[in-house]
Amino acid sequence: MSAPLRDFLEIPYDQLEELNLQVKEQRRARVPAEQLREERMAYLAGEKRIKAVTVCFTDLEGRLHMLDYDKKFLLKSDDNLTFDGSSIRGFSAQVESDLRLSIDWAAFYWLPADVFGPGKVLVFGEVRQRDGSPYPGDMRSRLKAFLEDLYAREGLTVNLANEIEGFIFQGRNAEQRYRELGEFKMISTSGYYHSLPGDPLRTFIDMAAEVQRAMGFSNEKDHPEVAPSQFEMNYGYTEALIGADQILLYKLICRQVASRLDMTASFLPKPVTGVNGNGMHTNISISRGGTNLFHDAAGEEGLSDYAWKFVDGVLHHAKGLCLLLNASVNAYRRLDPHFEAPNQIKASPIDRGSMVRIPIGNANTARIEVRSIAPDAPPHMAIYAILHAGLSPAETAADIRQGAETLPDNIYDAISDFRASALMAEVLGDEVQTKYADLKEAVANRCPRLLGTLIKRAEVQFHHEVTNQSLWSRF
């Protein structure tokens, strides 16, 4: 028998996990960027079985874009990578066109070959303007710079963990086909505690969790969720930029695994009428030198004054934040109090209708949980804005935590609140604030102004994680 014609890199899952955890620890230890570049470039040059490097970045709405660069080309040209920015919604205009990409060599991942194909590795990129300066619309780069500045000035590390819910539907591209089918077909009618080992939902969860583990997510638990065909896979907290990247990778992994099973993983906030929607509860704490600054055993609910001031900032700016946390027409269906909706602008240790919950914690785990964020939120921009809101001066009064007001129940009010927010203008800049609001208004204007009871085709078809050039033109 002749030898195989192709010999591309394929690494067993246990070795993948070890490699990816090592890289994750390098990021947490803040190994200098130039040292990491030299290590990665040397590895790529020496590993003959790698054919391409997937460089990924996000647009203004938080969609993941991926470009495959031939390895030999990348090794020669990693300082001169360009792409057409006018093709990315919310990025440069047609007359401006080209943007640059630089490589964030710290954010490097080995991929399971059976899911992503053999011979590839993945790395995050940073969008640059033509002159090499940071591009204002690249919120990942802005979050990274903000976190680095916090650490350099005050020795602060922001810790993040997300609980991301999703649905599994029959068939591939179920979201894009919703326009013609008019419904989603669940793969299982089972939910919490009712999904048996080996059923389609469990098969998907088991496969996706294995891929997560191999990519260094530090898994904790996974399970079906309350609604039929709904899932959640939890993993440990980490530094905030890694955590925000993992949101994108989590969704990518789920979509890839589901596609291989002839299914669709959907992160629409409310894809099915009459059952619970998808949330992305975001757990945040801040530490200095290994000490959790959010913890105080004698404080209210075990939180420090520093943590409560952070909560007050988030609540004070809740309405201005809402469009970032609930980024689609469909997201406002989830903010329905009949389905455990976290729409009340208050903080509570037990009331799951509150925007911010205070989980039980200790010196290591004390944190706040922002519950009103949906899984289709632009992760880096949402985290960036939450941190600015929490760390900005705000009124400290008991009534701000008691839920006298609720979040907007429709995207038009949320857009108005976002445009009117002085904090959003300050931290995002007028240009980014306007571009983002304009994108959301363009989608809203293609959908019925009133949500009504039933989910409409338009809110799925024009959703930023679903739509494409063909679907957008069918209006």
CA angle, 246 then 249 then 255, to 5°:
145
* Same structural domain, 330 and 449: yes
Q: Per residue in 328-359, pLDDT tens?
A: 999 999 987 666 689 999 999 988 889 999 99
CA distance 122 to 56: 7
Q: Same structural domain for residues 113 and 230?
A: no
Q: Are the beta carbons of 60 and 23 closer than 8 angstroms?
A: no
Find out whether 97 and 67 touch, Cβ atoms under 8 Å: no
162: its two tokens: 């997300």
Same domain, 128 and 169: no
- CA dist 178 and 25 (Å) reads 42
User: CA geometry: angle at 64 spanning 432 and 442, to 5°?
Assistant: 45
pLDDT 10s per residue in the chain (475 long)? 455 778 899 999 999 999 999 999 999 999 999 999 999 999 999 999 999 999 999 999 999 999 999 999 999 999 889 888 877 887 866 545 789 999 999 999 999 999 999 999 999 999 999 888 999 999 999 999 999 999 999 999 999 999 999 999 999 999 999 999 999 999 988 767 677 788 899 999 999 999 999 999 999 988 878 889 999 999 999 999 999 999 999 999 999 999 999 999 999 999 999 898 999 999 999 999 999 999 999 999 999 999 999 999 999 999 999 999 999 999 999 987 666 689 999 999 988 889 999 999 999 999 999 999 999 999 999 999 999 999 997 765 556 666 678 999 999 999 999 999 999 999 999 999 999 999 999 999 999 999 998 999 999 999 999 999 999 999 9
| Domain boundary, last residue among 100, 135, 170 | 135
Instruction: Give dist(CA 81, CA 127) in Å, integer.
Output: 10
What CA dihedral angle connects 371, 375, 377 and 378, to 10 degrees? 120
Indicate yes or no: pTM above 0.85: yes
User: Does one domain contain both 367 and 260?
Assistant: yes
The residues facing 223 across adjacent strands are 232
Residue 471: how many other CB atoms lie within 10 Å: 17
Give the N- to C-terminal CA distance of the chain in Å, as an integer: 56
pLDDT digits (tens, 9 = 90+) for 289-299: 999 999 999 99
Q: Are 108 and 165 members of one domain?
A: no
Any domain includes 150: no
Position 8 in a domain: no
| 422 plus 462 within the same structural domain | yes
Q: Which two tokens stand for residue 19?
A: 């490699």
| Residues pairing with 348 in the sheet | 357
CATH number for position 108: 3.10.20.70
CA distance 32 to 51: 27
Please give the residue range of the domain that contains residue 99: 13-135
Q: Return the sign of the alpha-carbon dihedral for residues 231, 379, 419, 94.
A: negative
Domain-located, residue 142: no
Other CB atoms within 10 Å distance of the CB of residue 40: 19
Whether residue 193 sits in one domain with residue 130: no
Task: Kindly state whether residues 92 and 174 are assigned to the same domain.
Answer: no
Which H or E run contains 193?
none
Q: For residue 7, what are the contacts with CB-CB under 8 A and spacing of at least 6?
A: 48, 49
DSSP-derived secondary structure letter, 430: H
**CB distance 376 to 300 below 8 Å:** no
- Name beta bridge partners: 54: 68, 122
- CATH assignment of the domain containing 309: 3.30.590.10
Q: 298 lies in a domain?
A: yes
Residue 375 DSSP one-character state: T
Query: What is the count of structural domains for the chain?
Result: 2
Same domain assignment for residues 60 and 90: yes
Q: Are residues 128 and 194 in the same domain?
A: no
Is 147 a member of any domain?
no
1 found inside a domain: no
**CA nearest neighbour of 328 among 128, 130, 465, 182:** 465
Residues 89 and 180 in one domain: no
Query: Distances from the Cα of 193 to the Cαs of 186, 202, 234, 340, in angstroms?
Result: 17, 11, 16, 19
Same domain, 175 and 315: yes
